[in-house]
Structure formats: structure tokens, C-alpha cells
Structure 1
């Protein structure tokens, strides 16, 4: 029996739609795959856009990380591609604790249906346009309910409560929820930065 991996390595594709929003605030994030081995995840990241049906000649820029000292597209990113109309595609690796405790497989990829908790911080305190943002995957689960329960509290701990935020909105089935069907929590910090916690399915 293969040993349990301590970490999961998520191949994440981010599309920044500069064509319709020059600020970079319009972003779409997809988890292309989850792996128990970093090398396997890096290999998958290099072909992720091709696996999604894109072709290299469709892009005006298509860079794959080689020499780390010459790479200018951010730590953790493996592929940077720019389309003719301005859209930018970035494929990178997000490392997270293996809360699933899944056993390793021959190709190191988890093939079962997964539900990922995405925590996005929008740094309005640095950039009022909302273009300065970052997304992490603090938890991955095999059921939506488990992911949703985790998402509801992942911004909180023994020292941070809901009262520490200027605003803390939770999805509880309301029809007028304005933040999107995947979003479980929207919170605003005292410095104006926004946190969005959502659950997305892969598999």
C-alpha cells in the first residue's frame, strides 16, 4: 500500500480577462487536477492548457517555466500565456495539507470527485480596482456538505471572530444572495480588503 501524502498539489488555471476589464479584476479560476506528488503536478501544469483544448499558436505569448532565475511570472506558476485580445492564462500549483489522507496512486492523481474550498483575498487597500488579489485552497473534500461547513468557518479561529470584520455575510439559502452561486462567505476586513470563500467541484 502506497504511503499517504502529507500534501495535495492542485493544478490551478487562472484566466484574467483584461480584454473586457483592463484592471484585471475579472478573473476565472479552475482547478484542473489534484495530485499527491509535486513533480506529477508540475508535469500536468505544463500541458493543462492543451488538455483544455487550447493550442500554443493561438497565443501571442506562451511561456513555460524553465530556469527559475529567468522566470518573471510569479512563484508557483508554471505557464503564462497571453491571447491576442489581451486575456491572460496562468497555470500554477497550489499546495495544501492533505485533509483527505488519500493513498497515493500510480499516476499520483486523485481521480475521484472533489470539492475545493477557494479563499480569495481582494486587496482593495492596495488597489481600489480589485485587480490585486490572491487565491488559496485551504481545504479539499469528497462531499459538498463537508466543504461548505469548512468554508463557513475558514476565515475564523480562536482569535478571529465575525465581529472582527466590518462585514461578514454568509449564504444561508437566501434568494437575493449577490455574490454568486459558489460563494459561501463574503467578508470585509477593517482595512477594506474583501475575502470571498467559495466551493467548486472537480471530477
Structure 2
């Protein structure tokens, strides 16, 4: 479990962010207008929640960064994931269950040219949600869980930077070992000449 902790946190965070980005372009609400013909007006997630796309992109970037950051930033990014997930979960739940007029007013104004809360309210006959806000709400729960998991397991993640530094330091030592263990012979002199060094000048 410890070895997979980083992978699980990264995948969960990236997945939640990706769902949010995709969802922002999908229809969240269908508004029926009381205009005689009862036209159905689709409202995209980005129109219902203006911060949906930018915060989803932030979560996506957060997941990618989690794969390379050190211990301190793991805690910071874990807390940011929880904060982003909590904010979006509250906003998404309001749209999914309460379906406030403010979520559809911009789309109605764009489609009809009417402005003002009363004018829009008089024109809206009913508002029905699609599955997308509920799917996205689950994604924010996953994002919050990933943030909590990141904070809880951050200290046990393998440090990639430390591993790379150790490997880089070990490589020269390994390559220098055989050369340092024997005297400088004729073959080494020819190698020096091929590199442009003059062994007789020493």
C-alpha cells in the first residue's frame, strides 16, 4: 500500500480534475421556457458554475504536480485538493439539488435577451438536471478523499528526488572504481591521446 500511495493519490486527483473539465462542457440543466412553445434550453456546467472549468484545471495540474513534489508540498497540495474539492462539491450540490435561478439566468439572458431576476423567473417554467452534476459531485468527493489520503500518507511516499540524486552520485563512483583500482598503463595513455591529452607532458 505504501509503494502505491503516490500513484493512487495522483490518479484520483487527476481523474477528478479531468471529469470536472469534461463536465464543464456538458449539459447540466435543461430549462423549459414559458414562451408559448415551451422551448428547452440546455445549460452547460461552465454556465451554471463559472468557476467549474478553472478550478477543475487547477485540480488536474495539482494531480500532475503531486507525482514530483517533495514532502512539504505534498501536504500543501493535499490541503489545496481538499479545499478545491469542498468548494466545488458545495456549488455542484446546489445546482444538482436546489437548481437555483442564478445557475440558469445567464443562459436564459443570452438566449432571450431578457435581464433581471423577475423577468427571468417569469420566463422559466421548470429546470431539470441531467446526470452530469451528480457524476461531477462524485468526482469532488473523490478529490476530497484524495487530498485526505495524500496528507495521511505523504511521509511514507518514496522520495523521487532523493532516489535520482543517489543514483546519479553512485554512477560516477561505480565508473571510477575500476580505473582507480589499477595503475595507469599504455592503454590508458592511448586513450589520453585520443582525447587530445599528451601523457608525456605530465
After TM superposition, is the score higher than 0.5? no
Higher helix share: 2
- Specify the structure having the higher radius of gyration (Cα): 2
More strand, by proportion: 1
TM-score, structure 1 as length reference = 0.20
* TM-score, reference length from structure 2: 0.20
